[in-house]
Amino acid sequence: MRTCVQKMRKCVQNMHLRRYTSRVTEEFIKQNLTISTDHLTPEIKLLLISHNSPLYTQPIQDSSSSLQDPWWTIYWPGGQVLSRYFLDFPHLVQGKHVLDIGSGCGALRCQLCGAADVTANDIDLNARTALSLNSNINNIQNINFSSTDHLTHTNPNKLKEFDILCVGDLLYDARREKKFIK
């Protein structure tokens, strides 16, 4: 657990310094993450980092350059709660156009609940690879993907295309929150 926490701390320190450019492959994800239903939404199977994952105990200095900011390997608490809420009250997203910013499994849950269309959004293209695999595991199709940085470079008119905007665990910094909410 300690090495996992150290990796996350290092990622937080470096996250604003670069755009995500290193890419992981589907094979890398399959080999290094485990399918889990041990979360608030067990009806959704997700490839996640866990104590059973090879990466969980790998020392930081040995981690591959493709795993510099592995936010997409974790099912964050806010995302779990938001997912559980929509799964319990699917009428909230049924027939709606949904944008899930910082997308992990948020796009999956909205598609499962009958949204008209779902756009998963993340600036890390590795999240797209993970989303594709998680979609396949859950037999979910037709999720769009966008890498636009909506937290810092959003055209307000672009967001008007969506009925629902989902943000689980991204607004942890007051500066980002204020800029995004404007």
DSSP state letter for 121:
E
Can you tell me the mean pLDDT for 21-47?
90
* pLDDT score recorded for residue 61: 54
Q: Cα separation of 73 and 25, whole Å?
A: 13
- pLDDT at position 65 is 47
Q: What is the pLDDT of residues 10-20, one digit of tens each?
A: 444 443 334 44
Q: pTM value?
A: 0.79
SS3 46: strand
| pLDDT single digits (tens) 52-108 | 887 787 766 555 545 566 788 889 898 899 999 999 999 999 999 999 988 867 788
The residue that leads in pLDDT, 11 or 146, is: 146
Choice among 12-26, 73-87, 106-120, 145-159 with the minimum mean pLDDT: 12-26
How far is Cα 71 from Cα 20, in angstroms, rounded to an integer? 11
* Burial per residue of 42-54, b for 16 or more beta-carbon CB atoms within 10 angstroms, e otherwise: eebbbbbbbeebe
Joined tokens for residue 21:
């450019």
Lowest mean pLDDT: which of 30-34, 39-43, 65-69, 120-124?
A: 65-69
